[in-house]
């Protein structure tokens, strides 16, 4: 299947295509349920853009997330956001560009619970518009299938856009399970994106490791991959 082609849920890979060692990357577009405030809010204001920049746990069953939302004047949406039943508090932080930053404390959405159980990172920013979220999935075979199955339960009409679906190259068996997990996390979080979406310190915090340990681990991973790539590309005499 060509990269970036939109497909229906019936075309989602199954069987051998979802082998545990296969890394899959895709973006799904899913309708946000009414129980999560950003869904009905963005449906009321379909021209506005909502971006979740990051979040952290905030007590049992709650998250605190920083959102950038388009619209002026600064803080214009704070009162409306606070009216949703799953929201416990809203703080208008600053006016930035054509919108404002809001810090919202709200109940943990089910998709976040799923990602926590599967121990896979959430790539930020998460973009929302007109009641739909564009959700990036970076995971291996069967884990990827679990996330897509959940998304289909939420929205049977979801759209999937593949970014990369080839099998993993033969050099990945050289990595240990912990190295593979760190590499997956770094890729999903945007450490290797251009421009880089996360710095080394933030990646270390997400990995519950020291900055020095993550730096050393990534250097070893990159050295292994580079050596193997060079070995494969060197013509045999």
H or E stretch including 57?
Answer: strand 49-57
| pLDDT tens per residue, range 175-222 | 787 888 888 888 878 788 767 888 999 999 988 899 999 999 998 888
Chain-wide mean pLDDT for the chain?
81
Which residues face 70 on adjacent strands? 99
Residues near 231 by beta carbon (within 8 Å), at least 6 away in sequence: none
pTM: 0.64
* Higher-confidence position of 228 and 232: 228
What does the buried/exposed string (b/e) look like for 150-164 if buried means 16 or more CB atoms within 10 Å of the residue's CB? bbbebbeebebbbee
Which residues face 214 on adjacent strands? none
**pLDDT above 60 for 5:** no
**How many whole angstroms separate alpha carbon 105 and alpha carbon 144?**
28
Q: pLDDT band at residue 16, thresholds of 50, 70 and 90?
A: very low
**How many whole angstroms separate alpha carbon 198 and alpha carbon 205?**
11
* Higher-confidence position of 10 and 89: 89
* Higher-confidence position of 11 and 162: 162
Task: Please give the average per-residue pLDDT across 11-17, as a whole number.
Answer: 47
Instruction: For the chain, give the percent of residues with pLDDT over 90.
Output: 33
Q: pLDDT band at residue 237, thresholds of 50, 70 and 90?
A: very low
**pLDDT above 70 for 231:** no
Q: Which of 125-129, 135-139, 214-218, 227-231 has the lowest mean pLDDT?
A: 227-231
| pLDDT tens per residue, range 24-56 | 788 889 999 999 999 999 999 999 999 998 888
């Amino acid at each position: 299947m060509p990269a970036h082609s939109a497909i229906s849920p019936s075309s989602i890979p199954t069987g051998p295509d979802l082998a545990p060692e296969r890394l899959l990357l895709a973006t799904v577009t899913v309708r946000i349920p009414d129980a999560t405030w950003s869904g009905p809010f963005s449906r009321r204001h379909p021209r506005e853009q909502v971006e979740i920049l990051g979040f952290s746990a905030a007590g049992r069953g709650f998250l605190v997330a920083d959102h950038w939302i388009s619209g002026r004047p600064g803080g214009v949406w704070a009162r409306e956001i606070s009216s949703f039943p799953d929201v416990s508090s809203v703080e208008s932080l600053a006016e930035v560009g054509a919108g404002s930053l809001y810090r919202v404390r709200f109940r943990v959405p089910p998709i976040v619970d799923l990602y926590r159980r599967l121990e896979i990172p959430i790539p930020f920013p998460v973009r929302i518009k007109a009641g739909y979220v564009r959700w990036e999935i970076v995971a291996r075979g069967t884990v990827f299938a679990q996330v897509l199955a959940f998304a289909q339960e939420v929205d049977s009409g979801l759209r999937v856009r593949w970014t990369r679906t080839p099998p993993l190259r033969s050099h990945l068996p050289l990595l240990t399970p912990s190295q593979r997990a760190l590499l997956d996390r770094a890729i999903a979080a945007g450490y290797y994106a251009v421009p880089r979406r996360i710095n080394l310190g933030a990646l270390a915090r997400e990995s519950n490791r020291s900055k020095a340990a993550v730096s050393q681990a990534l250097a070893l991973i990159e050295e292994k991959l580079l050596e193997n790539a060079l070995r494969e590309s060197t013509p045999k005499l």
